[in-house]
Amino acid sequence: MDIDRLQTELLRAARADRPSDRVPLGFERRVMARLAERVRRDPWSEWTAAFWRAAMSGGAVALLAVAVNLATPGAVNDLAEDPELFAAADGAPAAAAEEPAQDLW
Amino acid sequence: MAPSPLLNPDPSDAEVVAEVLAGDTARFEVLVCRYQPRLFGTARRYARREDEVQDIVQEIFLKAFSKLGSWRADAPFEHWLMRMAVHTCYDFLRSHQRNREHNTTDLSDDESDWLERHAPAPASGGHDAEAARTLVAKVLDKLSPPARLVITLLELEDRSVKEIAELTGWSVPLVKVRAFRARAEMKKILRHMASEKYL
């Protein structure tokens, strides 16, 4: 028994006989009715989806910010641990604020 | 859904999609009317009962409507819709796998005749196409969903491996592997059917 040829013959015969593309009468009305029903049932679905997307994006940005902050702890700690640097950074604006006043007198 | 003025008697797919996305959902009917014959032809390759075929086509249109915003006009709307159709048919096959068990004793007289004539010495031409088609449907019913999908697209719809990869979302090597396995699976079923017939 030649199964290869049997398979080829079977597929050739099936290929020659294409399924019908006939559409039942009024099928488009059925689809549109179902769509209308779905839209009516949940008019806020788009808003809800948009809010969820916004919430997810906000969460992702917050996580990213935390991750960046944790990955570079030195930048913050150095300023706090170095007294001179801290004093310079702290005093600079005050000194700068005094300068224009001296100029005025 | 508000009735819309029919300004253009034959609008392009992109125009209709833009109108639907702008809120005129009734215009979606244009797309339904345009593509339903094609989708019925496709769905009938995977489901035999007419109510199942209608459910599949309806599901494709409902999915298309809800995901309409994801269509990019750089590819034809029909390709996008056909990808959705193939995925929906595949989901149908997977969910109905258990219900599609048949015995070879289910074969009709015509199908048995076809096997009788072609199993001992297959000859080309002169066979009953309808009997062959229903016999193929029964063989396909016994295949696993991926095997059935790939045999249908490759052998019955005559699509290329690249086209199948685009439609299914599988890689080209995966399509080739699944096609090879599907042919082997089909041969095994045919061998079993033919041997049972002559035992």
Entry pTM: 0.68
Find the chain A residues whose C-beta atoms sit closer than 8 A to any C-beta of B: 1-24, 27-28, 30-32, 34-36, 38-39
What value does the mean pLDDT of chain A take?
A: 76
Rounded CA-CA distance B170/B135 in Å is 28
CB within 8 Å: A13 and B127: yes
Cβ neighbours of B32 in A, within 8 Å: 27-28, 31-32
Query: Any idea what DSSP says for residue B16?
Result: H
Q: How far apart are CA B80 and CA A34, in angstroms?
A: 22
In 3D, which of B93, B110, B85 has the Cα closest to residue B48?
B93
Which segment of B48-52, B75-79, B128-132 scores lowest on mean pLDDT? Answer: B128-132
* Contacting residues of A for B127, CB less than 8 Å apart: 9, 13
Q: What is the 3-state secondary structure (H, E, C) of B42-91?
A: HHCCCCCCHHHHHHHHHHHHHHHHHCHHHCCCCCCHHHHHHHHHHHHHHH
CB contact under 8 A, B119 and A1: yes
Judged by DSSP in three states, A44 sits in: coil
Which segments of B96-171 does DSSP mark as H helices, in order? Answer: 109-118, 129-142, 145-151, 161-168
Chain A nearest C-alpha distance from B58 (Å): 6
Per the CB < 8 Å rule, is B25 touching A35?
yes
pLDDT category at B108 given cuts 50, 70, 90 is: low
pLDDT value of residue A82: 60
Lowest mean pLDDT among A2-11, A61-70, B160-169: A2-11
Give the angle subtended at the CA of B90 by the CAs of B85 and B92, to the nearest 5°: 95
pLDDT of residue B72: 87
Among A80-89, B9-18, B109-118, the range scoring the smallest mean pLDDT is A80-89
Q: B132, A35: Cβ pair inside 8 Å?
A: no
Is pLDDT of A93 > 90? no
Asked whether the beta carbons of residue A9 and residue B183 sit closer than 8 angstroms, the reply is no
Do the chains contact at A1 and B158, CB–CB below 8 Å?
no
Please name the member of B38, B58, B127 whose beta carbon is closest to the beta carbon of A30: B58
- Between the alpha carbon of residue B46 and those of residues B19, B43, B161, the distances in Å are 32, 5, 19
Among A72-81, B14-23, B118-127, the range with the most confident prediction by mean pLDDT is B14-23
| Mean pLDDT lowest among A8-17, A26-35, B11-20 | A8-17
- Give Cα separations from B47 to A76, B56, B88, B141, B155 (angstroms): 65, 9, 12, 9, 17
Angle between helices B129-142 and B172-198 (to 10 degrees): 110
Residue B16 has pLDDT above 90, yes or no: yes
Q: How many beta-carbon contacts under 8 Å exist across A and B?
A: 111
The DSSP secondary-structure symbol of B104 reads: G
Nearest to B129 among A16, A20, A36 (CB): A16
